Copies of this chain bind each other. A is one copy, B any other.
Amino acid sequence: MARGTALTPLGLAALSLLVEEPMHPYEMYQLLIARHEDRLVKVRPGTLYHAVGRLEEQGLVAATGTDREGNRPERTTYTISNAGREAFTTRIRDMLAAPVNEYPSFPLAISEAYNLPADVVAGLLDQRLTALQEQLEYLESGEELLRTKGVERKYWVDIQYQQSMLQAEIAWIHGFQDQLRSGELPW
């Protein structure tokens, strides 16, 4: 029975893996890293174990066995339950349908930017622009790789979304800098 508290992003990612097949937390960790899912969800080993533990408490997954290799710590394998499958799709539905304010820090930063001189702000934004440009190129090369590898497009639509958003931010910053530097925007 999924209790009051809503599925955490990492919890969702874990369930997503368990939909494919039962596995133990460390395998989840490896898969998430190997698939570069850590670009979408913050993945920390400690947090992952806690997350899976909570999923179990909530009845969304069940420990279905333990094995051990050599003298290493015992590994607990988890399996998703029907309630888990239900909670999984429900959460995805919610996240798609309802936008939520997640308080990104950049808007806050520009809202406080008036505390710095205009030319300093413009210069700092130059630094940001190069970093954003780099991210964009990284995404483009990633897309290229997935395309040539023949991975179905439905598995990487998020990359195109990220590209669009990056481009929008870059464009906005350029416009803002112009206004700052031309003096069109009094500072």
A interface residues (Cβ-Cβ under 8 A, vs B): 9, 12-13, 16, 19, 37, 39-42, 88-89, 92-93, 95-116, 120-121, 124-125, 127-128, 131-132, 135, 152-158, 160-162, 164-165, 167-169, 171-172, 176, 185-187
Contacts and interface: CB of A to CB of B under 8 A. Distances in A.
Given A93-B124, A124-B97, A42 B154 contact: no
20 contacts: A9-B103, A9-B105, A12-B108, A13-B108, A88-B115, A92-B109, A92-B115, A92-B116, A96-B125, A97-B124, A107-B161, A110-B161, A111-B155, A111-B158, A113-B157, A114-B154, A153-B185, A153-B186, A154-B185, A165-B172
Contact of A155 (B114, B168, B172): B114
A108 B156 CA distance: 11
